[in-house]
Chain A
Amino acid sequence: MNRPGLKVNIAGVELKNPVMTASGTFGSGLEYGEYVDLNKLGGVVTKGVASIPWKGNAGVRVAETYGGMLNSVGLQNPGIEEFIKKDIPFLRKHDTKIVVNIAGKTLEEYCSVVERLAGEDVDLLELNISCPNVKEGGVCFGTDTKMVEYMVKEVKKIAKQPLIVKLTPNVTDIVSIAKAAEAAGADAISLINTLLGMAIDIHKRRPVLGNIVGGLSGPAIKPVALRMVYQAANAVKVPIIGMGGIMTGEDAIEFLLAGATAIAVGTANFVNPRATIDILNGIEDYIIKHKEKDITSIIGSLNK
């Protein structure tokens, strides 16, 4: 039997299939490479990288919740120089697309990472203006349409690779944010980042997380993510990478039907290190079962 076509195109970059990893859940693939054949993935989206090393937040950094988890890692990363030295060469040994997630506390910091990557062999950039765990920046850029427009415009001026803008769900109107990113030149949009949440240890009468609040991920957030992907997909023309609580192939299909061109797997990796591959197989099974020609006939194909 012929395998169905799974190729998708994000801003001129062809992915062999729509399954990517969600930033921050997969490192740069080194650890998961022992469990997953990275060559099988459409793309690896790296942990956010900043202009200089970031130590991250003090612990506790994780709290489990019903159907989800909170994290407050705070974008711990080795900085762009170490990243270029180690992470890019490692990923390049594999036949998968490299998407570098970029973190910063100021526009200048974001820009210096983007500039530093200009001559590097990476396929796509993902601008992280949505991390809820860093006080100085990240999410505060992503919640205001004017700020999103300004940031994206400035970064686009110097970016040598196509730019994905990753949006936060912690906003009143996702459509206006998505439109602002597109208007400013975003080549693609990814959503959602984590939802800001909290957990309390009732015996200690203290927040569980050292940072008090953290980002909620996992299947608990999937309906919210799906709704936002659906709304954004109907509002912009650029491709959308959908994520938020995808655990199975069926979950991924929901996002594709809602209008996502590709999907990313995050928290599911912690539950099953081979989740990306299982989800990829699930997508393929669905296409075969429904006798679709290829993946593109699924994308945004909700019956009216």
Chain B
Amino acid sequence: MKKKLTAIIKKNQQIAHGMFEMLLSVGEIAALASPGQFINLYSNRKDLLLPRPISICEIDKEKGFIKLVYAVVGKGTSDISKMHVGDIIEVMGPLGNGFTISKEIKGHIIIGGGIGVPPLLELAKGLTGEMSVYLGFRCEPILVEEFKKYTDKVYIATEDGGWGIKGNVIGLLKSNHPKGEMIYSCGPKPMLKAVASWAEDNDIKAQLSLEERMACGIGACLVCTCKAKDNNDWQYKRVCKDGPVFLREEVIWNE
């Protein structure tokens, strides 16, 4: 039977404004995890009931380590950011359906925005063939050097122009005209919507990883929804269980 596990915190440090990197020793999860999946983190605060779903940034199956990069957005992540090396944290996972990697596909375009960037790193590691990476941030970029280990083609946009070009990832795409067979993207919904539309215009397949407020994380409670096409109709699919990665043709963006 699956269950909640305890992980040992090996590292938990700030890497940018409001962004933290956490390294967890939890072999059972590392053994099963694949790029684009997430884990539930349970804060020690008993007044905060729900787990925090955090996407997996890197997997070290040999050491049994999972790396997370998370943003402090509320009470739960704030509490988690104050935990120390050696502390025990309750976790569950890996959860959700991650990215599909096909050996047949040789041209990859990775597009990330803000806190949507981390899950794309483990993906980049596993891709073979041509790859270009487009990352957008509000101000301070994260994980840029890590991506450069896997490709020379890493392009940055920031809203304030402090790093890379001034603007967003869509601007990067429009000026670089990347060629490829598959897009993999994660970021805020408006960005994903724009990526989907750019992909459609350029007739490129796209796998999009969505973020949503969750409760159970395993597909039972139906609070995290993605409006998705369903034959001639539509339905609310579960981001945690049916996703978080969806094909661009599935997603309906009008909400």
Contacts and interface: CB of A to CB of B under 8 A. Distances in A.
Contacts of B2: 34-35, 273
B215 A62 contact: yes
Interface in A266-284: 267, 269-274
Give the residue among A32, A59, A69 with the most B Cβ atoms within 10 A: A59
B219 A68 contact: no
B223 A32 contact: no
Interface string B48-74: 111100000000000000000000000
B213 interface: yes
A269 B220 contact: yes
B3 A58 contact: no
Q: Chain B interface residue count: which class?
A: 20 to 34
Contacts of A58: 225, 227, 255
B42 interface: yes
Interface residues of A, number: 37
Interface residue SS majority, chain A: loop
Contacts of B227: 58
Nearest to A217: B49
A64 B46 CA distance: 12
Contacts of A26: 220
A71 B223 contact: yes
A97 B216 CA distance: 23
B3 A273 contact: yes
Contact of B212 (A24, A32, A59, A269): A59
B235 A67 contact: no
A32 B50 contact: no
B216 A76 contact: no
B50 A35 contact: no
Nearest to B234: A55
Nearest to B92: A273
Contacts of B221: 24-25, 27, 62, 71, 73, 270
B50 A69 contact: yes
Contacts of A73: 221-223
Given A34-B2, A274-B4, A61 B222 contact: yes
Nearest to A63: B213
Interface of A: 24-27, 31-32, 34-37, 47, 53, 55-56, 58-64, 66-69, 71, 73, 76, 218-219, 267, 269-274
